[in-house]
């Protein structure tokens, strides 16, 4: 897991449901971090429907994760594309080969192990929709975990399901050889349980009485399982309540306390950026959503960035004074088709 004593390098962005702006948020966060002087690698971890390169205006990537999965190259760093955005590298997803959406265990471990050595201050994983084991494992492996959702009822339902399945996957792997704990875990929230356990808190209480050693292990898992949430496409004041809903439900049934990383207002410039194949917020000079992305990036740097990360890249050191005055588009040149 890419977590140092000083902070978190690897961040996974998930949410369970498609259409919530997760990929756009990942890209915008990467741009904002780069704008603040950090070296960033974006990795499209949606192995069944990769589209992050399209949002960046890269229509025909010269290298993708396929090259690494099929061992055409030895090192993951060899498939990192230099983008037209200063400070950002891109690993395109592999969705054009049979089985890419379901890599073998050895392939997945090979990817995860080499992510740690990528030359970046931050590595952002754009996860696919749904709750496949691959998606959950990427999320759980990452030291930084961000769940993106909107105020729509379906999105709230899906992001809670995503958090629940991710946590259960983490617990299941920890207790893989303990059939008793696994059986009890599967009773949690079941419609027809043999033992009535309706929440992780009740599972903790049961283990405290019956299996004190396992109780301590589970408590530590929950303590370490920190998730940040971002509410996207905010249009009204009522939409801000979405974060509190997820916090309350997660605390009640999962014994988790997700912290709010930020809110993103709906912005028509985002849709325009997607249609024009120009990364948002590169297509705007003034935008509320762009400002919110910058605030979120600054929060990550202030609270979670590894202090022993790579030295600031030369482009940032040389342009510190002009960066504050320049627009986003000063860093952007369209990639060749």
How high is the mean pLDDT of the chain?
A: 84
Q: Which of 210-219, 283-292, 327-336 has the highest mean pLDDT?
A: 210-219
Give the structural domain span for 268: 10-151+228-311
Q: Which residues of 112-121 are buried (b: 16+ CB within 10 A; e: fewer)?
A: beebeebebb
281: cis peptide before it, omega within 30°?
yes
More confident residue, 78 or 51: 78
Tell me if 99 is assigned to some domain: yes
Read off the CATH number of the domain in which 247 is found.
Answer: 3.40.50.300
Tell me if 168 is assigned to some domain: no
- Residues 11-30 have a mean pLDDT of 90
pTM of the prediction? 0.85
| Closest of 226, 230, 228 to residue 150, by C-alpha | 230
Tell me if 52 is assigned to some domain: yes
CA angle 229, 232, 235 (to 5 degrees): 135
The model's confidence at residue 102, banded by pLDDT at 50, 70 and 90, is: low
Tell me if 234 is assigned to some domain: yes
Query: How far is it, in rounded angstroms, from Cα 61 to Cα 29?
Result: 21
In Å, how far from its chain's centre is CA 65?
Answer: 18
Tell me if 178 is assigned to some domain: no
Tell me if 240 is assigned to some domain: yes
- The total of structural domains in the chain comes to 1
What is the structure's pLDDT at 161? 96
Query: How far is it, in rounded angstroms, from Cα 235 to Cα 16?
Result: 21
What is the structure's pLDDT at 169? 96
What is the structure's pLDDT at 17? 78
Strands 259-265 and 81-82, sheet pairing:
unpaired
Position 2 pLDDT exceeds 70:
no
């Amino acid at each position: 897991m890419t977590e140092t004593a000083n902070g978190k390098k690897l961040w996974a962005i998930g949410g369970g449901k498609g259409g919530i702006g997760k990929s756009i948020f990942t890209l915008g966060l990467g741009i904002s971090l780069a704008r603040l002087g950090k070296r960033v690698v974006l990795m499209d971890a949606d192995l069944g429907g990769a589209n992050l390169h399209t949002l960046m205006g890269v229509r025909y990537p010269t290298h993708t994760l396929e090259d690494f999965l099929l061992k055409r190259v030895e090192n993951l760093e060899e498939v990192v594309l230099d983008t037209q955005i200063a400070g950002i590298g891109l690993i395109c997803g592999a969705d054009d080969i049979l089985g890419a959406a379901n890599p073998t265990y050895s392939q997945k471990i090979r990817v995860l192990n080499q992510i740690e050595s990528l030359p970046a201050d931050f590595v952002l994983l754009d996860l696919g929709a749904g709750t496949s084991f691959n998606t959950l494992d990427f999320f759980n492996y990452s030291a930084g975990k961000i769940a993106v959702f909107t105020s729509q009822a379906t999105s709230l339902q899906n992001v809670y399901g995503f958090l629940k399945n991710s946590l259960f996957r983490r617990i299941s792997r920890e207790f893989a050889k303990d059939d008793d704990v696994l059986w009890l875990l599967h009773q949690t929230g079941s419609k027809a349980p043999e033992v009535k356990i309706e929440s992780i808190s009740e599972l903790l209480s049961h283990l405290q009485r019956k299996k004190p050693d396992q109780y301590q292990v589970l408590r530590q898992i929950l303590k370490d399982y920190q998730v940040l949430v971002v509410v996207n496409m905010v249009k009204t004041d009522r939409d801000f309540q979405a974060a509190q809903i997820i916090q309350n439900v997660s605390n009640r049934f999962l014994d988790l306390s997700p912290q709010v990383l930020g809110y993103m207002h709906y912005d028509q410039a985002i849709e325009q950026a997607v249609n024009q194949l120009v990364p948002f917020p590169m297509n705007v000079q003034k935008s509320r959503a762009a400002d919110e992305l910058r605030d979120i990036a600054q929060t990550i740097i202030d609270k979670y960035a590894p202090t022993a990360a790579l030295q600031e890249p030369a482009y940032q050191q040389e342009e510190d004074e002009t960066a504050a005055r320049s627009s986003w588009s000063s860093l952007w040149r369209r990639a060749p088709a």
